[in-house]
């Protein structure tokens, strides 16, 4: 039986179908999880995709964190279930306190869109277990509020616990410590600003995102 990946859909999400195509190409099945429904339908992993949930009103993810589905995602994560937030999904996870820190406006107040090189910093996460430490991947970014920030105490904790999952090779947005993605203390919740689903097919110009999705599917049981 194929592993099923639940892809959360909020009003304003716009990358859910790209994520579905990426995971289905690797042999998984995928199911849309509507934000107003708390039932995760027995999925094996959850992806919160990019977009502009609820129009990014107040701030990105601030409204989405209160959706019924997020309570179930929090329970799923607490039980060890793999959860990945991409771009706006990363913002939602920080607002929901499933990941530390926050995403603020990019340095220079510039919208950043284009390929970005990121370096794998740890393979001890559900998103990078199949990668190699030090490997550099070309993964597109597409954000205005992608500037990761956290307190000095949180940064020290992330470093000490090897929880910085990926860093930018050439920081495009001012993120603290060049951070592009982090994981939870349990290592099963990961958020990153780059879009691996946009680097999952040769037609897209890069297949570097495939190793990340393979890692997620492995964690989910494929």
Q: Which two tokens stand for residue 187?
A: 């290592």
Residue in 15, 87, 150, 183 annotated catalytic = 87
Instruction: Please give the helix or strand (H or E) that residue 24 lies within, else none.
Output: helix 16-24
Given phi > 0 = left and psi -120 to 50 = alpha, else beta, which region is 51? left
Q: Which two tokens stand for residue 102?
A: 């926050």
β-bridge mates for residue 115, sequence order: 140
Report d(CA 18, CA 200) in Å as an integer. 9
On whether the CB atoms of residues 32 and 14 are closer than 8 A, the answer is: no
54 is catalytic: no
The closest of 192, 177, 180, 182 to 162, measured between CA atoms, is 182
First-to-last C-alpha distance (Å) of the chain? 9
197 is catalytic: yes
97 is catalytic: no
**45-48: strand order across its sheet:** 29-34, 4-9, 45-48, 83-86, 189-192, 179-183, 164-168, 112-120, 136-143
Report d(CA 76, CA 79) in Å as an integer. 5
> Catalytic residues, which ones?
87, 195, 197
């Amino acid at each position: 039986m194929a592993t099923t990946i639940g892809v959360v859909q909020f009003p304003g999400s716009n990358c859910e179908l790209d994520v579905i195509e990426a995971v289905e190409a690797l042999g998984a099945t995928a199911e849309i999880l509507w934000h107003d429904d708390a039932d995760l339908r027995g999925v094996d992993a959850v992806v919160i995709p990019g977009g502009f949930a609820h129009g990014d009103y107040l701030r990105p993810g601030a409204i989405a964190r209160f959706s019924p589905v997020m309570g179930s995602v929090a329970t799923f994560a607490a039980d060890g279930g793999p959860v990945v937030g991409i771009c706006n999904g990363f913002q939602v996870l920080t607002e929901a306190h499933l990941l530390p820190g926050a995403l603020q406006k990019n340095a220079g107040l510039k919208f950043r869109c284009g390929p970005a090189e990121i370096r794998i910093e740890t393979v001890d996460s559900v998103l990078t277990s199949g990668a190699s430490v030090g490997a550099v991947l070309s993964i597109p970014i597409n954000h205005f509020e992608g500037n990761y920030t956290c307190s000095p105490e949180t940064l020290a904790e992330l470093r000490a616990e090897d929880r910085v999952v990926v860093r930018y090779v050439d920081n495009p947005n001012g993120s603290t410590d060049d951070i592009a993605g982090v994981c939870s203390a349990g290592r099963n919740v990961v958020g990153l600003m780059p879009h691996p689903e946009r680097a999952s097919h040769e037609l897209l110009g890069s297949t570097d995102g495939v190793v990340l999705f393979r890692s997620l599917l492995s964690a989910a049981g494929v």
